[in-house]
Each structure stands twice: as structure tokens, then as C-alpha cells.
Amino acid sequence: MRHRKYPFIAGFLFVPVVLYAVFVIWPYIQTFGYSLTDWSGQSQTMNFVGFDNYSKLFSDSVFKKALVHNMLILVFLPVITILLALFFAFMLNVGGRGRAGAVQGVRGAGIYKIVFFFPQVLSIAILTVLFQAVYRSDEGGLFNGVLVKLGLEDKQHPIEWLNSPDLVLWCIIGVLIWAGVGFYLVLFSAAMQSIPKEIYEAALLDGARRGQTFFRVTLPLLWDSVQTAWVYLAIAAMDVFALVATLTPGAYYGGGPDFHSEVMATYLMRNFLTYGKSGYACAMGVVILLLTLILSAITLRITRRERIEF
């Protein structure tokens, strides 16, 4: 009977595996092949150039600047998003205290979760329109308007949020954090609800403070969820094309001003669709893929801990 089930399982797996190979694996192989040529994207003729495109990447000042920007996003986006999501989830789920030392969530926790999760239902286009109003470089912008009302900014010289080389990348990171915290708050909240309340109550009865229960109880028991969130956010940090292309100034897929918000994905698209350097763009795509895989593997390795049972 055991041997008879193998053909049955293989029959179900055959079609999905074939579809995955055709629509996922084969495009990766094609992209690597194109990266070894001088293909322009407009014609069928191409010449084999070996690894010339890859050697040009590491002497390309714009690509190196875009790589640094992706690394900055990779550092700040996961750390800040996870810390805020953990803090809010902890406060919502165990922030209240019932009678006799019992632990419970705050009132209206479900409503708070919906409010925090709301940015997840917004498309990139809506986020762009929303934050273009927030970052407007006059008194009509939300940030500038508030600063003017508080007397912290001169009405005649408002802050150019998206036109300032020193601020534009941090504005992008701020939008990503604002849009992502709600999702991971719900993720961590679901994981916290599986932790028995008796563990928190025992810790409180033993004299532990809320901060101690968070670091000694909550965080170790949520480590699998934190690890998953870290990997997803690391991948998101390598792929911020849509937001940068639509929100930041600059001709042809954003990246301005003067490449100060450029990321690898926007530079790839500019080379592919505007400059006619499709082979060069494919080399960038291969580098982005390899970096994403390496960073995901490193993240999983660094954050690996023994599983705690309860």
C-alpha cells in the first residue's frame, strides 16, 4: 500500500512542478542568459559579452549608490517595523490587567487592530497620492502645515521633503514603516493569543514588570514569528520599486533628486525601458536575486534559536 501511494502523489505534483518550472525557473535561466549579452531589448540580435555587464556594475556609481540605499532600507525597515509592531501588539494583548492580577487585552483591541491594519488595504497608487499631500513642499502639506502652526518652520521657507537629498530616502522609509506596522501587529497579535495567559500571570505574581515579561516571556515565545517577519521585510527592502517610482521626483521611474532615492529596482527599469540596455538590466536583476537569497539565508541563520515549547 505504501508503494502504491507514490504514483498517486506524483500525479498530483507533476502539473504544479511543470508549471513552476516553465513560469518561474525558466524565466530566471533566460534572464541569466540575457545578462551575458549586449541585448538592447528592441531587436532579436545580441552578442555574447560574457561577464562584462557584471564587471560594469561594480564601476557604476549610480548602481553603487542604489545598492547603498537598499542596504539602508534593509537595516532600518525591519528593525523599526518589528519593534513598533511588537510594542503595539504587546500593549493591545496584555496591556490591560483584570482583577486579582489577571492579564487581559486593552478595551477595544479589535478596533485598534483594524485601524492599524487599514494601510494594508491601500494600493501603492493611493499611498502615493496620500503621502504626496503629506510631504507637500508648502504650507498645504500636512507636515509643513503642522510645523508652521507650531512655529517651528518659516512659512516662506518650507521644508522640501521629497526634493531634499538629505530627507527623501528617509521619507520613503517612513512610508514603508507606516504601511507595514499594521500587518505585523496583527501577525504578532495572533501569535500572542496562543500564549497561555497563565504564563503572564505567574510572571506578574513573581514580581516581574511589564518590560521584563516582554523580554523574558513574550519575545522568546514569538521568536518564530519575528524570524518570519524579518525575512519578509528583508525581501521587501530589496523591492521598493513601485513606491520610489511613483512618489519621488525625477524623470523615468523616480530616483530623484539626483539619484538620492535611487534603488536597484528603479535603476534596473530605467536601463531596461529607457536606455535600451536590457542585457545590463538583466545583470542587475540577477544580482538583486542573489543578494535577496543571501540576505534571507543570513537572516534565517542569525535569528535561529531553539524552539521553546509551552
SS3 state at 97? strand
Given a contact cutoff of 8 angstroms between Cβ atoms, the answer to whether 144 and 159 are in contact is: yes
Q: What rounded mean pLDDT belongs to the chain?
A: 85
Cell output for 30 = 533566460
CA distance 293 to 179: 24
At residue 287, the pLDDT reads 93
At residue 105, the pLDDT reads 67
At residue 235, the pLDDT reads 87
Given a contact cutoff of 8 angstroms between Cβ atoms, the answer to whether 155 and 129 are in contact is: no
Given a contact cutoff of 8 angstroms between Cβ atoms, the answer to whether 99 and 295 are in contact is: no
Q: How far is CA 152 from CA 114, 149, 157, in A?
A: 33, 8, 11
Give the model confidence (pLDDT) of 174-185 as tens digits: 999 999 999 999
Q: What pLDDT band is residue 65 in, cutting at 50, 70 and 90?
A: very high
Instruction: Tell me the average pLDDT across 146-171.
Output: 87
| Nearest CA among 184, 170, 174 for reference residue 82 | 184
At residue 254, the pLDDT reads 74
Give the model confidence (pLDDT) of 233-265 as tens digits: 988 898 898 899 889 876 567 777 888 999 999
Identify the weakest region by mean pLDDT among 112-121, 269-278, 300-309. Answer: 300-309
Angle between helices 278-302 and 26-35 (to 10 degrees): 120
Check whether 97 has a pLDDT greater than 60. Answer: no
Q: What pLDDT band is residue 82 in, cutting at 50, 70 and 90?
A: very high
At residue 238, the pLDDT reads 87
Give the model confidence (pLDDT) of 157-166 as tens digits: 888 899 888 9
Instruction: Tell me the average pLDDT across 134-141.
Output: 87
> pTM for the whole thing?
0.86
Pairwise pLDDT comparison (126 vs 249), residue with the higher score: 126
Check whether 220 has a pLDDT greater than 90. Answer: no
Q: How far is CA 138 from CA 60, 157, 161, 250, in A?
A: 35, 8, 10, 19
Cell output for 158 = 518650507
Domains of the chain: residue spans and CATH: 54-302 (1.10.3720.10)
CA distance 80 to 76: 6
| Cα Rg, the chain, nearest whole Å | 24
Cβ neighbour number for residue 156 with a 10 Å cutoff: 7
At residue 45, the pLDDT reads 81
Q: Which helix (H) or strand (E) holds 134?
A: helix 124-134
At residue 66, the pLDDT reads 93
Those residues with Cβ within 8 angstroms of residue 272's Cβ, 6 or more apart along the chain or in another chain? 41, 278, 281, 282
Check whether 2 has a pLDDT greater than 60. Answer: no
